[in-house]
Structure 1
Amino acid sequence: MDGMAAGGKILGHPRGLAILFLTEMWERFSYYGMRALLIFYLTRHFLFADDPAYGIFAAYTSMVYISPIIGGFIADRWLGFRRAVLFGGILIMLGHFGMAFEGAEATADAAGNVTRDLGAMQVMYFSLALIIVGTGLLKANISSIVGSLYDEGDRRRDGGFTIFYMGINVGAWMAPLLCGWLGETYGWSYGFGAAGVGMFLGLVVFVLGRGWLEGKGEAPDPAALDRPVFAGLTVQHTVIGGCILALLPVWLLVQHSHIVGGLLGVAGGLAMLAVIVYSALRLEPVARDRIFAILILMPFHALFWAFFEQTGTSIALFAKRGVELSLFGLTVVPSQIQSINPLFIILFAPVFAALWAGLDRRSREPHIPLKFALGLLQMGLGFFMFVIGIQMAAEGDKVWFGWLVLGFLFHSTGELCISPVGLSAVTKLSIARITGLMMGVWFLSNAFANYGAGLIAMTSSIKHMPGEDVAVADALPVYGSMFMSVGWTAVGSALLLLLLSPLLKRLMHGVR
């Protein structure tokens, strides 16, 4: 075949990239398939009111972003990337299959008192814990294997990560279409079960394709893993046992979002303090300035994602309650709208890559703060599209689907200005010996963003009798007010960042 070359390469890249592409694609399929259904499962099957449902969602997604920091350390110190990915994938698969256990559907009496299947609820919480711990072991470490496929200075590395990133979005695009349709049409267990099957397929690819990785991602000291610790248990047994024991506190935390918020505040404060003190005392002035530039960008990055993650909460319920989900003869179920963003990313990522490259050749590529500001501005414009749709809907009518699609378009182009740029900025502005620390702090800002997303979503909570649909006339004013506030906050943040741009450029000392 023309696209395949001899010597263990596919399309000019190490053939192991194909294994990692497919593994990550199916893992993201499982994650986004379950995520598309979660808010509807909480509000329609267990009859949670909006506020507690948003809280559970926020606790889950924020811990998903905290866990890779710990998982990366475990892989670096003991397991190695490959074993961590394999064990993490098994936990994720079990978590999704656990979600497929529905139990009895909740019921509500005339006074609004809800009776829930408490056993099924605890199975759900434990399943979420399995996915959180599993994602911690898999998410960062599979990316590390991608990097290890390329020698230092290999010009194919950026292209390899671009291909890998496309796998993420292909999985994220397919998942809501299939899992959402199965879950909302045939039953929750079918949708969650399909997510579990997706992770199973990813594991099959990863195990069968081990030889194509050519030894990359193995433990730093493989012999040490079999070293006895106590009572016949080896280092590997102890580490894996520790991960299993970690499921218990995570299982409890996912049920108490306020505790997660408090822990995030403490962890975030300590991390920021450590970086600032280290920078002030140990780094020379240029390196210190660049670290401070990252710290200034971080809250804007977190704010963008807090708004973006409304997709799985307030926007999802807005679509269910207030949008006519039919366009050009095509009708979708509410969870399927979460396929729109990854589809736009797939379509426009090559366009943006070519745009930045073309502007760079002309020495006109926007600097990092300007790209961040553009991302926030487009986020605001996306929410304004939702508001315009609400305002144009006739009294008692739902919003035209096209306004939702247009809003997602702006969110997606905004994402392309921030998501790849942010990770690149951390690697450019950090010095080698603390890049890992700064990446951890950056991911911590994602955890803050997801927790903050839940708090923002709560401002759109609508009180109604459990199990009853919310009237369109009651829903649209609430969502319109919230979306307007988010839109103006995003635009205001973009303008503030533009005002800070001269300072940031000085702190970056030439890094673009």
Structure 2
Amino acid sequence: MFGHPVGLWYLAFAEAWERFSYYGMQTLLVLYMVSQLLQPGHVENVAGFAQFRAVVEGVYGPLSTQGLASAIFGIYTGLVYLTPVLGGLIADRWLGRTRTILLGGTLMTIGHFLMAFDASFFWALLCLAIGTGCFKGNIAVQVGSLYAPEDNARADAFQIFYLGISAGVIASPLVCGTLGEVYGWHYGFTAAGIGMAAGVGIYLAGARFLPVDPPIVRRTQETRVRLSRADWRILALLLAMLPVLALALLGNQQIFNAYMVWAQSSFDFSLLGRTMPTSWLITFDAAASVAMLALSVLFWRLWSRRFPEPDEITKLVVGAVLTVLAFLVLATGAAQADEGARISLWWAVAFHVINSIGFAHLVPVALALYVRMAPKAIGATIVGVFYLHLFVANNLVGWAGTRLEAMSADRFWLAHAVVAGVSALILFGLQWPIKRAMAKTAAEPWRPDV
């Protein structure tokens, strides 16, 4: 189809439904916990809640309902970025990619439907976290396996694949968010479960068009490699950048957490005589992210015709600075509100557009930098390590979100701008050591030592 293997389209549509289910559930999660699950009459029914709260408050201190919801969100989304390591091990060592993907899709489907019951809330989150880890990384590997190593169509294939992701992210708040907020929370979670079941069905339907799993090799002696001094310097810099990237992305990841709770009570959602669901902000954010990513690529292509295009580390500084500007806009909007008054949605529009431009210069650019800098001997491992910054960021999101009620809204968002500003300064200072390390790596050949 259009010059690509048929299997690509099955994988793209399966991933679109998986992202539909994942982001549909995540959009509702904090609003659901604050509005219903953690309220009297429901929270007593959650299995293991008392023990879980005792552990969490032992770390965070006493928490309000909103603070506890924020902490749960941070722990859950943090686990989502750890479990792909487990999913990779399961696929490589035991089940193979196809069966691991099916296991992940099945667990996610079960998790979404378990959200319909108060008692099974934590089991639902566990199924979703493990299921996402089994599904997410392995299906992307299968996309690459459809093409020969020298086939340049692979890049186009991943663009098509990510279009499926974007479609799922944009549609899920409109469907799951609207059903959950307007008709009942469990309708939204059920829609997410149906979407995940559809994804599994599409994957099974296209199984005959997918690449055969490579044989599982049980190694008795692991291959060891010797890194040069330049490689070790590169590795140290890449590891040092992880917490800096986490700080830069703290505000962006907060959009699904404290931002949703604050937005629900702060923005005027009147639109054409009707009240717009809060979750539609996520759809706008996803659409803005896709548009700003495309426009950013176009901008730098046009820029390069007359001026040298900046390297990745410089673009990361630009992204962090734009994130600072976005949260300054949000803090200014929050300061405009009188006690009990609601502020215009144009503040949200300005925030999401500027933040999306910043995001376009952060995660995609950082991934490109890690791929470029990673020592050849451990390149795949470094790419896996890269995603740990999102684990750190989401745990910080959970902690920071617990401060929403203790601070005025303008100071809360100003604090996010300050954190992004700190990351911008550190990234600016890292430009020279990174450039020097890369120059020395280029001069030293890589020699494996088996």
TM-score under structure 2 normalisation? 0.86
Whole-angstrom distance in 2 between the partners of 1:384 and 1:450: 21
- What residue is the counterpart of 1:131 in the other structure? 128
SS in 2 for 1:334: coil
Q: Deviations over 1:356-380 (max 9, x none)?
A: 4444566722211111111111111
Aligned residue type for 1:30: S
Deviation (angstroms), 1:140: 0.7
- What residue is the counterpart of 1:235 in the other structure? none
Whole-angstrom distance in 1 between the partners of 2:161 and 2:244: 26
- What residue is the counterpart of 1:38 in the other structure? 29
Report if aligned partners of 1:36, 1:336 keep a CA contact under 8 Å in 2: no
Deviation (angstroms), 1:81: 1.6
- What residue is the counterpart of 2:315 in the other structure? 371
Whole-angstrom distance in 2 between the partners of 1:154 and 1:219: 19
Report if aligned partners of 2:86, 2:133 keep a CA contact under 8 Å in 1: yes
Structure 1 residue corresponding to 2:429, chosen from 496, 499, 503 = 499
Deviation (angstroms), 1:347: 1.9
Deviation (angstroms), 1:71: 0.6
Report if aligned partners of 2:92, 2:216 keep a CA contact under 8 Å in 1: no
- What residue is the counterpart of 2:293 in the other structure? 349
Map residues 463-482 of structure 1 onto 2, 5 A cutoff: 478-482=408-412
- What residue is the counterpart of 1:91 in the other structure? 107
Structure 2 residue corresponding to 1:488, chosen from 418, 424, 436 = 418
Q: Deviations over 1:414-442 (max 9, x none)?
A: 11111212222222211333123212322
Deviation (angstroms), 1:90: 0.7
Deviation (angstroms), 1:177: 1.1
Whole-angstrom distance in 2 between the partners of 1:172 and 1:128: 19
Report if aligned partners of 2:260, 2:278 keep a CA contact under 8 Å in 1: yes
Identity of aligned residues (%): 34
Whole-angstrom distance in 2 between the partners of 1:157 and 1:172: 23
SS in 1 for 2:387: helix
Map residues 273-292 of structure 1 onto 2, 5 A cutoff: 282-292=226-236
Deviation (angstroms), 1:394: 4.1
Structure 1 unaligned residues grouped into runs of 5+: 1-9, 102-119, 225-277, 463-476
Q: 1:429 to 1:329 in 2, by over 3 A?
A: farther
Whole-angstrom distance in 2 between the partners of 1:347 and 1:435: 30
Structure 2 residue corresponding to 1:441, chosen from 352, 369, 385 = 385
Does residue 47 (structure 1) correspond to residue 42 (structure 2)? The answer is no
Aligned residue type for 2:397: A
Structure 2 residue corresponding to 1:70, chosen from 68, 81, 86 = 86
Map residues 123-272 of structure 1 onto 2, 5 A cutoff: 123-213=120-210, 215-216=211-212, 218-221=213-216
Report if aligned partners of 2:230, 2:440 keep a CA contact under 8 Å in 1: no
Deviation (angstroms), 1:453: 0.7
Out of 438-447 and 389-398, give the one that drifted further.
389-398
Deviation (angstroms), 1:78: 2.3
Whole-angstrom distance in 2 between the partners of 1:287 and 1:221: 30
Deviation (angstroms), 1:36: 0.7
Whole-angstrom distance in 1 between the partners of 2:199 and 2:390: 25
Map residues 310-459 of structure 1 onto 2, 5 A cutoff: 310-327=254-271, 331-360=275-304, 364-459=308-403
Report if aligned partners of 2:248, 2:423 keep a CA contact under 8 Å in 1: no
Superposition CA RMSD, Å: 2.2
Deviation (angstroms), 1:408: 1.1
Q: 1:351 to 1:221 in 2, by over 3 A?
A: same
Deviation (angstroms), 1:42: 0.8
Report if aligned partners of 1:289, 1:508 keep a CA contact under 8 Å in 2: no
Map residues 14-29 of structure 1 onto 2, 5 A cutoff: 14-29=5-20
Report if aligned partners of 1:96, 1:127 keep a CA contact under 8 Å in 2: yes
- How many residue pairs get aligned? The number is 412
Aligned residue type for 1:489: V
- What residue is the counterpart of 2:48 in the other structure? none
TM-score under structure 1 normalisation? 0.76
Report if aligned partners of 1:327, 1:402 keep a CA contact under 8 Å in 2: no
- What residue is the counterpart of 1:239 in the other structure? none
SS in 2 for 1:68: helix
Aligned residue type for 2:164: G
Q: 1:364 to 1:296 in 2, by over 3 A?
A: farther
Deviation (angstroms), 1:147: 1.3
Report if aligned partners of 1:97, 1:192 keep a CA contact under 8 Å in 2: yes
Whole-angstrom distance in 1 between the partners of 2:441 and 2:263: 41
Q: 1:489 to 1:511 in 2, by over 3 A?
A: farther
- What residue is the counterpart of 1:309 in the other structure? 253
Deviation (angstroms), 1:282: 3.4
Whole-angstrom distance in 1 between the partners of 2:84 and 2:335: 42
Report if aligned partners of 1:78, 1:219 keep a CA contact under 8 Å in 2: no
Aligned residue type for 1:496: I
Whole-angstrom distance in 2 between the partners of 1:493 and 1:100: 40
Whole-angstrom distance in 2 between the partners of 1:492 and 1:159: 36
Deviation (angstroms), 1:511: 9.0
Deviation (angstroms), 1:46: 2.0
